[in-house]
Amino acid sequence: MHKLCLMIASLSLPAVAQNALVNGDFEKGLDGWVVWGGETTTQAHGGNLACKVTLANPAWAGVSQSVAVPEGMKSMRVSGWLESIGIRGGKENWERGRISVELFGAKGDTVGGNLLAVGQVRGKMAWTRMERIYPLPPEAKTVKIGCALGNSTGTLHCDDLSVEFLP
């Protein structure tokens, strides 16, 4: 009887959210990421590798990955670790080192408006965990996560990035 009660109780527990990103910890180098200015470094938060983006002149550079939004999900938790070394931001407050999020509909159109970055850094900052929960509009079919320097100079490290979809 005790085992039956435990089994029934476990069926009512919510499923544990899992990371939807491929290689979010960068332990397989940049596999799974679209690279537009990033590389790997051994200066990692966890494990052996992290993503590194370095620019001497202001520009946009980094890595990104798109994942499908599972049906019926109401929100998502996006998190990751950032470290900055001498980042000088651009003229706009959002031009820094960052973990960015964009939502797209079935036709590739942007949905959900301009989302706040998961986290932004400038100057020198030790590894810091960033996290944000976003509501998902019903028309969202794809989410794109980026680790990037936005019109900035300096060095950004990103590691242990995660996207978890929540019902």
Q: What is the pLDDT of residues 15-25, one digit of tens each?
A: 557 999 999 99
What does the pLDDT read at residue 30?
98
Can you list the residues of the chain whose pLDDT is less than 50? 2-14
What pLDDT shows up at residue 17?
Answer: 74
Dist. CA 60–CA 79, nearest whole Å = 21
Is-contact 133 17, C-beta < 8 A?
no
Q: Would you say the pTM of this structure is higher than 0.85? A: yes
CB 164 within 8 A of CB 22: no
Q: Which domains does the chain have, with CATH numbers?
A: 17-166 (2.60.120.260)
Strand bridging mode 119-121 / 38-41:
unpaired
Where do the H-state alpha helices sit in the chain?
2-11
Phi, psi of 113 (to 5 degrees): 75, -170
pLDDT at 6: 39
